[in-house]
Chains A and B, each alone.
Chain A
């Protein structure tokens, strides 16, 4: 090795300095050019596979409308399968944050997944937009400044149904729900208003998520002879329950006054006309007469064919919410406090009507509607029968 002379030293020094300048410059460019990565965690398999598919469709439908651009930057979705299993959800969220370095998280079908990832996203300070999970606690005692819910809480959706069912459908009602946070909280919320309005539950039955046979439950309903069944089921559970309900001929003698999940358009497609007349409570109705809804239905029809459903609305609104906030902060996802403020002040012109984020709880305040299954323009869907008002989750 020869000695290093002064000239070489100066050269090397200049070179290093130049490298530093150029790399800082290219870093700035890179940040402009680099897309905003949104990690999407939804079930694409198991009992909630259809939900994940529809929520994703809604998300992509909205992103296409804005050409996958927000705040001057490109939007990139990184999708992971939640598998309707909270342990898997935690693993996938960690992978998205640590390996893929996503800027935001969206999705989450299962309430228990939302609870499972809550502390992690809170500590990592990664904003999470919940597009489905309904457990009340997500925006109550377990709420976080980083977690927003654009869908609806179990209480919001089912509390207003109680008095309405007692007054308009029947007083002797059989309660059936999925045996986890969502089903239990929805039933408790329903009972709260239902009992106060003179309703009498004839039985309260909980079934495991992902059941493949409801005949034992149906036998109990047939024997109890209630005026109506209030059911909180979703995905494949809703399809199997409704199919067997019709097979047993109960649709002729017992009314259905159910969660909107049970008469979701995906379920109706599998059941057919036997479901006509079933009542439900939900935050979106096919026949809502507002321009956002007409535009949404037209776009969904054009891209996917068939009737849209409230899961697609949830995905659509989650992206609308995210894109709106990113526009407000000009794509600067690095400035968390500005982004969170933009989220808190968001108002969504949604297909379900006007939706506003409650800055105290980060939960969406919105209308809840009573609906009825009907055939409209040749398609099997739900029609509006009553607006149950603007419902805000009390947050405790």
Chain B
């Protein structure tokens, strides 16, 4: 039993880190650009399929891991600059635009790659199990776990110490005041959108060997990211991190013990958080 719990805990934590990558991007974008990017899951899918293609073409997973987020991030920048900027401040139109964009990306992927479910192998270096005495556990989820934690620490550092991080925090806190202090909100918003979508693309490359690619995954991932952000609190990366851990663990153990009710448990958790602390577990009360 202890073995079962430990294995499933590790599975859940790996999935949680994947959710963290998604929620982090979503949360950053919302904080700075004030847009709930409902195409986030579609960017994840795009990253996953591009990762698959590049890994096969280059024969190297690590190069794909580097290039795909760049490509998806550039696309994100283009979307912000040419589609979203004109709608600045019109939230409903922005949300509708991102929903539509998500559909377009998902259907283009379906058109190009077909609707079959694709299972992606992990790179050879991370293939197979790790022997921890009598306990066997696959290497790949451990890699995802490590990557997630490293990224969390790195992003925290960037936000706390670098000029760009300080600008991001300034625009998140008060765009007008930031603008008055010569922080260019438009440029910060553009870059943040790029970073956020790049994180979704990274999530896709990293996530494909954990969760097989299937049509509909985009909507599922957007939903998960939204739930994490609602639970953790919008606009804070600590919220995204702890929210992702909570959702990952509830989902993992739900699927182990109550497979029929796993999704319900997550929604119940979200409803509970909304009832008791509407701004999210680590969210700030908006004045």
Contact = CB atoms under 8 A, between A and B. Distances in A.
Interface of A: 44-47, 49-50, 83, 207, 210, 212-213, 215-216, 218-220, 222-223, 235-236, 239-240, 243-244, 246-250, 252-253, 270
B177 interface: no
A216 B214 contact: no
23 contacts: A49-B115, A50-B116, A210-B117, A212-B217, A213-B212, A216-B252, A219-B4, A220-B256, A222-B3, A222-B7, A222-B136, A223-B1, A236-B212, A239-B119, A239-B212, A244-B138, A246-B128, A247-B122, A247-B129, A248-B138, A249-B129, A249-B138, A252-B136
Contacts of B217: 212
Nearest to B8: A219
Nearest to B126: A247
Contacts of A236: 116-119, 212, 214
Most chain B beta carbons < 10 A, residue from A207, A223, A235: A223
Contacts of B214: 46-47, 210, 212, 236
Secondary structure at the B interface, as helix, strand, loop or mixed, is mixed
B137 interface: yes
Contacts of A49: 114-117
Interface string B169-184: 0000000000000000
Given A247-B127, A247-B129, A249-B128, A216 B138 contact: no
Given A45-B115, A49-B115, A248-B129, A219 B212 contact: no
Interface string B97-117: 000000000000000001111
Given A216-B11, A216-B256, A222-B4, A46 B115 contact: yes
Contacts of B34: none
| Chain A interface, >50% SS class | helix
Given A212-B212, A247-B129, A247-B140, A223 B4 contact: yes
B111 to A, nearest CB: 12
Contacts of A210: 117, 214
A110 to B, nearest CB: 15
B211 interface: yes
Interface in B3-20: 3-4, 7-8, 11, 15
Contacts of A50: 116
Contacts of B121: 243, 270
A347 B173 CA distance: 78
Given A216-B256, A219-B11, A247 B119 contact: no
Most chain-B Cβ atoms within 10 A of its Cβ — which of A46, A216, A246, A250? Answer: A216
Nearest to A214: B212
Query: Which of A47, A212, A252 counts the most chain B CB atoms within 10 A?
Result: A212
Contact of A216 (B3, B8, B128, B210): B8
Given A213-B210, A213-B212, A216-B256, A223 B7 contact: yes
Given A216-B252, A222-B136, A248-B136, A240 B119 contact: yes
A83 B121 CA distance: 25
Interface string B36-77: 000000000000000000000000000000000000000000
